């Protein structure tokens, strides 16, 4: 089954053709990162306009690369949410038009399900049961999948997402947007134990995260240094901040695997493009006898292949295609989609 998938929830116009949910026939991403970096973050209005400009040629390029015509596509998939409404609408409109002219079904995908399913694209052995840590610019979730089609949210961030903390601290450090990669490269020359950061206290049984205290502490410490003309080593600061975020994410993930007796730990989302994070998790999994899965760097950040992979799993689980009334859902909660997947899996 060949699925043509579209992702346009934030600042990447991405299209891919994915076969049988696991192999990519062609893909193309038009990134707007350099445009938004001038403003220190994504400007929604500009993002929508750039998606409109890029969508036609990105689509054409993908079909050309794959050597396929629209008639040879079996189904379409699109990110319905969450994300920026104007940006999502461009993808949703394009996907509806394609489904309408070809008469092929269209599947609406939740962006986070896409991130999780990126693991299916590269790891044949990836299958439930697994615990998956999703850390992106807008989300930090710990999800348990005991069996195909059944997902349980163990924990989530109570305030800022991990990526948001990276982006905001990077801004105060004077680094470019997006902040995660900038902090990672600065941290390479720094000492991860040079600075100590506060740890959020969330109760011993909670799998939630909280990054706002850590972020505020980091930002205040940087402002304070500036006011006092204190020579603060930025590389040490970046390395220590990164270390603190990674340890928080790792601690909760390992505890979830241990408590649930789950032997597979997977990573997903833009923040896990961080090589220090993945190697720290990999070593910890090895030490604790856990199987470790993470998408390659390219598939951690937003892309359309993951949307195609997620749509394929939805089709396998018996999901119904969307109708022509499909609309963007900018605030679509992951809980809603997990509930409906579970109901579909039970045939309700
Ligand atoms: O998944 P993603 O591409 O978009 C969302 O769904 O939000 O994630 C983007 C987030 C940004 O906050 C960015 O700073 C962060 O992922 N990120 C990183 C790295 N690469 C991207 N954070 C830490 N280290 C990185 N190498
Ligand atoms: Zn994302």
CB distance 149 to 342 below 8 Å: yes
Comparison of pLDDT for 346 and 117, the residue scoring more: 117
Is the confidence at residue 294, as pLDDT, over 80? Answer: yes
Decide: 41 in ligand 1 pocket, CB within 6 A: no
Decide: 295 in ligand 1 pocket, CB within 6 A: no
Closest by Cα among 84, 134, 117, 86 to 5: 117
Is the confidence at residue 347, as pLDDT, over 80? Answer: no
pLDDT at 348: 64
Q: Model confidence over 116-155: pLDDT tens digits? A: 999 999 999 999 999 999 999 988 999 999 998 888 999 9
Closest by Cα among 150, 153, 152, 154 to 344: 150
Decide: 270 in ligand 1 pocket, CB within 6 A: yes
Q: Model confidence over 181-229: pLDDT tens digits? A: 999 999 999 999 999 999 888 988 999 999 999 999 999 999 999 999 9
Confidence of residue 278 (pLDDT cuts 50, 70, 90): very high
Confidence of residue 335 (pLDDT cuts 50, 70, 90): confident
- Residue 300 CA, closest ligand 1 atom number: 1
Distance 137 CA to ligand 1 centre (A): 5
Counting ligand 1 atoms within 8 A of each CB, the residue from 33, 162, 178, 268 with the most, and so the one to mutate, is 178
**Which residues on adjacent β-strands are paired with residue 133?**
142, 267
Confidence of residue 99 (pLDDT cuts 50, 70, 90): very high
Whether the predicted model's global pTM rises above the 0.85 cut = yes
CA pair distance 271, 279, nearest whole angstrom: 13
Decide: 213 in ligand 1 pocket, CB within 6 A: no
State the chain's mean pLDDT as an integer. 95
Q: Where are the beta strands (DSSP E) in 124-216?
A: 130-135, 140-147, 150-156
Q: Average the pLDDT over 61-66 and give the result.
A: 98
Is the confidence at residue 26, as pLDDT, over 80? Answer: yes
Confidence of residue 250 (pLDDT cuts 50, 70, 90): very high
- Residue 115 CA, closest ligand 1 atom number: 1
Decide: 137 in ligand 1 pocket, CB within 6 A: yes
Decide: 21 in ligand 1 pocket, CB within 6 A: no
pLDDT at 86: 98
CA pair distance 20, 1, nearest whole angstrom: 5
Distance 101 CA to ligand 1 centre (A): 35
pLDDT at 95: 98
In the numeric block, which tokens belong to residue 89? Answer: 């609408």
Query: Considering the chain, what percentage of its residues have pLDDT values greater than 90?
Result: 89
Confidence of residue 345 (pLDDT cuts 50, 70, 90): low
- Residue 170 CA, closest ligand 1 atom number: 14
Range with the poorest average pLDDT among 38-52, 100-114, 132-146, 330-344: 330-344
- By alpha-carbon position, which residue is closest to atom 1 of ligand 1? 270
Confidence of residue 2 (pLDDT cuts 50, 70, 90): very high
pLDDT at 206: 96
pLDDT at 342: 72
CB distance 218 to 197 below 8 Å: yes
Comparison of pLDDT for 103 and 148, the residue scoring more: 103
CB distance 35 to 53 below 8 Å: no
Q: Average the pLDDT over 175-180 and give the result.
A: 92
pLDDT at 343: 74
Decide: 271 in ligand 1 pocket, CB within 6 A: yes
């Amino acid at each position: 089954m060949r699925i043509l998938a579209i992702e346009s929830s934030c600042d990447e116009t991405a299209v891919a053709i994915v076969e049988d949910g696991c192999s990519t026939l062609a893909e193309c991403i038009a990134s707007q990162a350099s445009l938004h970096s001038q403003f220190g973050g994504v400007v929604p209005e500009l993002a929508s306009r750039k998606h409109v400009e890029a969508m036609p040629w990105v689509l054409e390029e993908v079909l050309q690369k794959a050597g396929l015509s629209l008639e040879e596509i079996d189904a379409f998939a699109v990110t319905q949410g969450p994300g920026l409404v104007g940006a999502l609408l461009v993808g949703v409109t394009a996907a509806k038009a394609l489904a309408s002219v070809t008469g092929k079904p269209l599947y609406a995908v939740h962006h986070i399900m896409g991130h999780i399913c990126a693991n299916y694209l590269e790891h044949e052995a990836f299958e439930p049961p697994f615990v998956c840590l999703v850390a992106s610019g807008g989300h930090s979730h710990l999800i348990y999948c005991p069996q195909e089609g059944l997902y349980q949210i163990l924990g989530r961030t109570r305030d800022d997402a991990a990526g948001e903390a990276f982006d905001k601290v990077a801004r105060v450090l004077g680094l470019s947007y997006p902040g995660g990669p900038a902090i990672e490269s600065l941290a390479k020359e720094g000492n991860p134990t040079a600075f100590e950061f506060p740890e959020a206290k969330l109760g011993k049984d909670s799998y939630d995260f909280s990054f706002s205290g850590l972020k505020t502490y980091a930002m205040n410490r940087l402002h304070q240094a500036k006011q006092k003309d204190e020579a603060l080593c930025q590389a040490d600061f970046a390395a220590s901040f990164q270390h603190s975020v990674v340890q928080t994410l790792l601690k909760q993930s390992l505890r979830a695997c241990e408590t649930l007796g789950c032997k597979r730990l997977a990573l997903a989302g833009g923040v896990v493009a961080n090589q220090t994070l993945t190697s720290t998790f990999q070593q910890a999994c090895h030490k604790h006898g856990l199987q470790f899965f993470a998408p390659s760097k390219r598939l951690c950040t937003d892309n359309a292949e993951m949307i195609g992979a997620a749509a394929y799993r939805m089709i396998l689980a018996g999901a119904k295609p969307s109708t022509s009334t499909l609309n963007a859902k900018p605030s679509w909660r992951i809980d809603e989609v997990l509930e409906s997947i579970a109901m579909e899996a039970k045939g309700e």
